[in-house]
Amino acid sequence: MQVDAYVQELGGDKPIHSVLVANNGLAAVKFMRSIRSWAGQVFGHPRAIAMVAMATPEDIRINAEHVTQADQFVEVPGGTNNNNYANVKLIVQMAEAAGVDAVWPGWGHASENPELPEALKAKGIRFLGPPAEAMKALGDKIGSTILAQAAGVPTLPWSGSGVAISFGECKGNIPQDIYDKACIFSLDEAIESCQRIGYPIMLKASWGGGGKGIRKVHSDDEVRQVFKQIQGEVPGSPIFAMKLAPASRHLEVQLIADRNGNVASLFTRDCSVQRRHQKIIEEGPAVAAPQEMLRDMERCARALAKSVGYVGAATVEYLYLIEEKTYCFLELNPRLQVEHPVTEGITDTNIPSIQLMIGMAIPLWRIPGMRATFSKDPNGTDYFDTNTTPQRLPQKHVVAVRITSENAGDGFKPTAGRVDEVVFKPTPEVWGYFSIKGGGGIHEYSDSQFGHLFASGPSREAAIRAMVVALRDVRVRGEIHTIIDYAADMLQSPEFVNNKIHTGWLDSRIAANVKAERPPWHLSVIGAAAVRAHEASACKAAEYLGYLSKGQLPPPDISLVYFQDDLVIDDIKYHVKVIRRGPFTFNVSVNNTAVDVVARKLGDGGFLLQVDGESHVLHTEEEAMGTRLVMDTLSCIIAKEADPSRLVALSPGKLVRQLIKDGEHVEQGQVFAEVEVMKMMMPLLCPAAGVIHFQVTEGAALSAGELIARMDLDDPSKVKRAEQFNGELPPLGPPQVYSDRVDHRFTQALNAAKMIMAGYNYPVDDILEELVSCLDHPALPLLQWHQEFSFVESRMPPGLAAKLEAVTAEHEQALGGSTADRSNTEFPGRQLIGIIKGAVEAAPENEQAMLQQQLEPLARVAKAHSRGPEEYARSIVQEVLSMFAGVEEKFQSSSGLTTEQEMIDALRKSYPNDHQAVLDLVISHQGLNHKMELVKRILSTLVLPNPVPYRALLRRFAALSSKATAEVALRAQQLLEVSLLADLRAVVARALSGLDMFAEADGKLSPTVSANVGSIFSPQPSGDQAGAAAAAGTLTGMLGGSTVVPRKATVREGVFSGLNSLMAPRSVSPHRHSSTGGAITPAVEHKIETLVAAPAAVEEALASLIVDNQDKYLALQYRALVTYVKRIYYPFLLCEPQVNQHGSMLAASWMFDDPRTAETSAKRQNVGAFLVLTSLKELSKGLQVVAAAISSLASQAGVHPSGSILHVAVCNGSDALAVSDGAAKLLATGGPLLGCEAEESFSSVELITSSGPRSPTATPKQITQVVAAAVKDASSLLKAMKVGTVSVLAAAALMPVRNGFVWDMEEQAYKFEPYLRQVNRVKANN
């Protein structure tokens, strides 16, 4: 059906094909959507009625919704509404230019200006509202109250009480003399009128609205203060005074009147929740007053409208006095009101479409929607009286909330600015309208309301609950503030739920500083800290990349991992420290507590926050007073440090007037100026007392953050400062819900280790402990397999899954056995690989590639574990350590690069198209100290037990040359030597076991004298020779300070340097073998000289052969001992060591030239001895044997030894560290012995048993404690033997542990000497 036919069928007189919407914002959007909905239902086309919008430059700039929804728009001047939407001449011109049939004024702007309907009527354009006469009579607050009094409608006491004239008498033009009787023209008249009525009073400008021209006064002084303000806000408007009603409800009646004199009322609404006399929450139908009274309000409203010949939609407002249970007329609004959708919701009508049909002169009784409201057939044609015909009662309740861009936390001050996102999800119970969308905004000339939500339910309680749920889901993000959170809290307050509210209720909440629900303080602190750290890191990273892209060197002190900040929330200052654990993970600490949080940046600029196992969406917005943080739907302010000497504008607006003269004194809390913000007048309060100096003049436009005035404070020390927070964060769990499965724990621990290597920070001890624990778990391979198997099971060929499950089920069953069985159960990786390989080969050739790709995750897991758990653990360790080497190798001095900045510049040139890779390397390198802690722990915990497989990595570590990595390089060099010790020991053992220098006779061993060592009766060196010997070096450790001979670098780190003649080529077999299997050739003497003089570090290999008691005949041990002594004392040995066997003990003694006595009067010859024991328990017995040997040798040489050196070796065995009862008592006392550091875990009596701890499993500290106790217990014997130095070798897990003790003359006791742990070759001192 076409519009013309429709209008003719329903009895109208003028089809309307196009409408100029002379409004903006929500009003325009709501009208367009309502007309489009109606047109789609009636004509089958939503654009059957063309919509023409007016658009200011500001509307276009913010991408206003009403402009984009319109069929077309006409551009109009910007600025205040006097230039556009309130400009009657402009509206008429635009209507003519656009060729529209009608103009819809909406609400506000020119909607109540009677000049508009007059001017349009003259142009033949329909005005979708009342005629000029009725608007003049009712649109003016004073005039409408006069007419209401004449119509018998109750009114409050006011300045025009008793003044009355009916519309019939005046025809809408109230005589001036009668009108003036109700007005106030001067300050004196205002005071006199207020005194007569009685305070409190509302002083109002008749033409005011939207908060302008209205003030509440309680005294004559307040009247004097605000009267000029009211006059200035609405220039030329008449002013009147009205008694401020006591506790009351704001109730109103929706009226609809046609051009034929029919008037209908569509029930009532309750709009009692107001701030600054502007509505925030509406609901309907009203339930605060008795139904009879509500029906009487409707009757009076219809009568008033009929008496003035009203046409269109109107609202009659009443105050219902709660205590008196009476009502009074407030005003009649000759226009459609914002809250009209409440009425639409309870009556199922479309009021804007009814306005349009009334404009076409269709009578009410023919409009389908109105007929349905009166229980008539919507398509019927029968006449009915809308005044007497009963209506269909509402079957539901509707609650509405106005969404405004106001800061509810700061007295509902309006805000303007950009809007990034608007999210609203309508449901059958909740609907709404918004005048903006994401990418738009609200400018300083807009109305603060930009949205309106409505919720319906079968009862008031149900509607409230639906609205609260809807508000919690609404998200508006941008520069503006909204009242969404506050409104949701308000709806749930006991007063609102129990309907115990009144018109001053919201203002009282604002005065009491009732705040909306905010995010928990700890979440605000954690979230703000993480986001600021993320943003700071991103900013610094962008800055760093910017330097690189320009070919410049970045500053050396840019930190991308560690941050700290002060956050002020609700006048409490939180000092936070943030450590990055990864690209998205942060550790936030406050005082002594910390929590991990995950923060990922979203596409809209916000963050997805995970903390304590919960997720939150967080957005931030910078504004004049700080950072607004919105978490989910709740918000708070991260405030800047307050500076009360600077008075700034919080939002765009206009400085209307200065209430204090420039340079005058102002008190704290005093109003010093008024600003107009989005049609609202806002007072500005001074935060502190002082002298004010304005920086802008009256009438100046203000931008957010602009300085309005400066203050010379009376007492800056009295300014309130934020209080420092000294508490702690509440106990919080991990950021994400983690599984306790070992494979998941392993993945997390491995990822954390990799993050450390990438330069981030995790607790090293915890991560390594977790990693080792997971690697040791026998179920790790199976769980990793199951994880991948679950992904590909459904895509496997028939039968393959069953085969694989059968194998893993058998392994799983084995794991379920005893602990001993589980430890020896190996994952069937090879078997699984075979099954997978067979399945791929059995598949058709054209499907093999796809199947192989599908099974690749399973094959990867099976292969990784196919060589056992040790090999898998090694692969993980190598992966982590390789990350360290790969980065730090790029930061070593090479090719002339000496500074870190030069190295970074070289990296920039190496990665010309990938500067992010350079940044990643720099971040990793910045975490070097933390990385080294993990590397050192891994080397000690996982590499040290078996360093052989890590030789390639250890060589890379040992080659690191920077000072910062020296510790790791040294440790790697030591581990390399340990890794090669077994090979070195084999070379030495082979050489010694094949020597022909020993012969076994009568069960005893006799040495063959070396050609290079004289007998004890050989001539002694002269003094010069002795001095030369002393100058040539000193004995290692035991004989004083020494300089280590630099080892020659070889392919194998110099470990085998000088031993080539002892290492048979791999392709050549030894010519013949001795009984011990050692090579016989080359010559014996050559082998001895080679071992004694070689630069290779054979000492440890020899020592390990000495403490190894696996040689049944002691032959290898014997030879190792002799070679060890000769090597250590070379070239100071004066005679061949004399070795004797005493049961399980070996005792050796020798003479040497003591360089310590060089150039002194003391004799240079001294005696050394070596005692090999199977247990420290035998120390006293062995000392007696050695004492006899020393005495015998000394007497043969004719010397009196003093300060002799005694070597003791304790062989590997179960009783090696068993000690005497005396030593055991010393250990039981705990604490250090002979000055060595105590091992806490070894100081208890429980560890000291008759057999003692096993040497191979004891720690070095434990071994030192046991040895110290044994030496101390034998001190008297050692002193009697005149032993000056005792060196004790004991078997340990990898290599022997050497401990030295020196006689202290002052304390007359032996003292532990840590420098004697090492034995090194010497060279001449220069």
Q: What residues are labeled active site?
A: 335
- Identify residue 1005 by its one-letter amino acid code: L
What residues are paired with 564 via a beta bridge? Answer: 577
* DSSP run (H or E) holding 1130: none
Quick one: tokens of 585? 């993970």
Q: How far apart are CA 1029 and CA 97, in angstroms?
A: 119
Burial 585-621 (b: 16+ CB within 10 A, else e): bbbbbbeeebbbbbbeeeeeebbebbbbeeebbbbbb
Q: How far apart are CA 1106 and CA 1091, in angstroms?
A: 15
Q: How many CB atoms lie within 10 A of CB 82?
A: 12
Q: Which residue has the tokens 């957010």?
A: 704
Quick one: tokens of 961? 């040359």
Any idea what the Cα angle at residue 102 is, between residues 97 and 107, rounded to 5°? 105
Q: How far apart are CA 1285 and CA 1035, in angstroms?
A: 12
Any idea what the Cα angle at residue 671 is, between residues 665 and 672, rounded to 5°? 55
Q: How far apart are CA 74 and CA 63, in angstroms?
A: 15
Among 781, 764, 969, smallest CA distance to 861 is for: 781
* DSSP run (H or E) holding 331: strand 326-333
Helix, strand, coil shares, percent, the chain, to 5: 40, 20, 40
CB 316 within 8 A of CB 148: no
CA separation, residue 722 to residues 571, 592, 725, 965 (Å): 5, 20, 9, 45
Any idea what the Cα angle at residue 278 is, between residues 275 and 279, rounded to 5°? 90
- Identify residue 250 by its one-letter amino acid code: H
Q: How far apart are CA 548 and CA 542, in angstroms?
A: 10
Residues 6+ apart with CB under 8 A from 1083: none
Q: Which residue has the tokens 């070679």?
A: 1123
CA separation, residue 609 to residues 472, 529, 530 (Å): 18, 11, 9
Q: How far apart are CA 1072 and CA 1063, in angstroms?
A: 15
Among 35, 51, 39, 50, smallest CA distance to 6 is for: 39
DSSP 940: I
Radius of gyration in angstroms for the set of CA atoms belonging to the chain, rounded to a whole number: 49
The strand pair at 102-104 and 18-21 is best described as parallel
First to last CA, the chain: 117
Any idea what the Cα angle at residue 123 is, between residues 117 and 127, rounded to 5°? 30
Any idea what the Cα angle at residue 218 is, between residues 215 and 220, rounded to 5°? 95
Q: How many CB atoms lie within 10 A of CB 341?
A: 24
Among 101, 98, 92, smallest CA distance to 15 is for: 101
Quick one: tokens of 555? 């500053």
- Identify residue 82 by its one-letter amino acid code: N
Please state the separation of Cα 1237 from the chain's center in Å: 44
Q: Phi and psi dihedrals of 31, rounded to 5?
A: -60, -50
Among 430, 372, 396, 392, smallest CA distance to 285 is for: 396
Q: How far apart are CA 257 and CA 332, in angstroms?
A: 14
